[in-house]
Structure 1
Amino acid sequence: MSDAGSPGTTAGTGRIAAFFDLDKTVIATSSTLAFSKPFRHGGLINRRGVLKSAYAQFVFVASGADADQVERMRAHLTSLCAGWDVAQVRAIVEETLHDIVHPLVYAEAADLVAAHKADGHDVVVVSASGAEIVAPIASMIGATHSVGTEMVAVDGRYTGEIAFYCYGPNKAAAVRELAERNGYDLSRSHAYSDSSTDLPMLEAVGRPSVVNPDRALRKVAVEREWPVLAFTKPVPPRPRSATPVVAIGLGAMAATGAAWYGLQRRRKR
């Protein structure tokens, strides 16, 4: 777990927090897959790895990811990163963060984060992506804390093993741990997610909301009368003099992924 910013306070019997899933809740795609091109430029993956990541990103955006898909994606990415230099990964993420991620942030999510902070709430990003990716993104959007998947590293390099997988019930466990540590009143706290795999986290708070929900989560939200939010607008580009922004469109990523998929189909034939 990592902190980003200073904690807020509330006037009630306990502090209030707002817990946000990251992928397809705060940003429009997978935060991990979004860095495939910078990782290639840094020599961490090859061109084939970029194409596979682009196609996986296209599928993720178009149809979401159920538990089996997320598990396959996790296995692929953890095996891929075995041997990577941790310091190099952190440097690449920091250097390309605003170019890669800022254009993908939902304006509605940014406004909601700002509203919670204005109300004195802590904002916590809880994601299955690696902590080295989650923490800088959380800091960029003004979150107070972040929790991500913790990879095992030996002598400064990832082994491919996972110390803590921030997914499913583990997200709820992380939320409860933070609540105990920081004095959050979970019955008065909020949580936001797009995926039914995050149901344990949503159920851990008294004020859950769903964002662009998958079919299973939408059904639960309707049955339980949870708010259903639709996030569609990207954050407006920042002036280059303030923060350089080079938008990488999802259409281009999808086209690249489709090309890889077509190549695979032709090979099978």
Structure 2
Amino acid sequence: MTFNRTTGASVAPTVADPDLTTSRVVLVDVDRTLLRGSSLVALVRVLVAAGLVPRRTLLRAVVRGVVFSRLGSSDRQASRVMQQVLRSAKGCSVAELAAFTEAVAADLRANLRTSMELRLRTHIDDGDFVVLLSAAPQQLVESLAEVVGAHRAVGTRGHVADGRFTGELDGAFCYGSGKLERLRSAIGPVDLTKAVAYADSASDLPILASVGSPIAVQPDRHLRSVARHRGWPVLLD
């Protein structure tokens, strides 16, 4: 799948995507699952260097990222970070942000978790329909999807007016149960009982509990406990 970098809309792929009605759907969380670390922190760091985001936003994102990686994050904490990022991006053009996200995504290739990169390639080669599903900004998830060859990108959308971000959310925050809402909005009704999902956090339990094959990747403390109790596979590096 490729994307229109001016409008953010998906455009016709060069190679046809697998048929959603017949292919297995594979849902892949991004931060600390597909990647080692946070894509959002990487993006904020670039925006700070460009003078578009205050340095305190980066510091808060880094600190909360460390806490998240060890203990998990509450819905309130995650929402607060995203609100700060959206407000900081107010006035930024869609095209301008797209240029930043493309550069960040290219750099993040070095942070791909090797085991997940191999699994992703196997899923794609097997004809599965691969979706990157993340709380990160939609444009960044799209850029990462192009880097790894995923068929769809579903992230948090910032509201756009006259080609510029308004600082407000557009639709559901793609986090927790909001991931299910955003997923259904993006790809329509799909039988998730036949789907596979990879995630690292207890915040992704709504997604993991909805699929037939949930897999915990380097899970936080809460998810590790749930996975052990329910007999879900756990991938550790």
**TMscore range, shorter length:** 0.7 to 0.9
Matches within 5 A, 1:46-195: 46-99=54-107, 101-164=108-171, 165-177=173-185, 180=188, 184-195=190-201
- CA drift of 1:38 comes to 1.8
- CA drift of 1:50 comes to 3.7
What's the counterpart of residue 48 of structure 2?
A: 40
Say which structure, 1 or 2, has more relative contact order (CA 8 Å, 6+ apart). Answer: 1
Are positions 1:217 and 2:223 aligned together?
A: yes
Deviations 1:31-59 (A, max 9, x none): 11112232123221244444444434444
Residue 35 to residue 9, structure 1, CA distance change in 2 (3 Å): same
Maintained 8 Å contact 1:179/1:185: no
Identity rate, percent: 33
- CA drift of 1:168 comes to 1.4
Residue 212 to residue 48, structure 1, CA distance change in 2 (3 Å): same
Maintained 8 Å contact 1:211/1:228: yes
Maintained 8 Å contact 2:57/2:84: no
Residue 74 to residue 46, structure 1, CA distance change in 2 (3 Å): closer
Maintained 8 Å contact 2:70/2:220: no
Deviations 1:87-123 (A, max 9, x none): 2111111134322x11211011101101111221011
- CA drift of 1:80 comes to 1.9
Q: Which amino acid aligns with 1:120?
A: G
Provide the rounded CA distance (Å) in 2 between the counterparts of 1:117 and 1:226: 23
TM-score, length basis structure 1: 0.75
Residue 8 to residue 82, structure 1, CA distance change in 2 (3 Å): same
Provide the rounded CA distance (Å) in 2 between the counterparts of 1:132 and 1:180: 20
Q: Which amino acid aligns with 1:7?
A: D
Deviations 1:51-92 (A, max 9, x none): 444434444444442323212212222222222222211111
Maintained 8 Å contact 1:19/1:125: yes
Name which of structure 1's ranges 121-130 and 162-171 shifts more when overlaid on structure 2: 162-171
RMSD of the TM alignment (CA)? 2.4
Provide the rounded CA distance (Å) in 2 between the counterparts of 1:70 and 1:55: 12
Maintained 8 Å contact 2:54/2:88: no
Q: Which amino acid aligns with 1:168?
A: G
Number of equivalent positions: 226
SS of 2:34's partner is coil
Provide the rounded CA distance (Å) in 2 between the counterparts of 1:148 and 1:93: 13
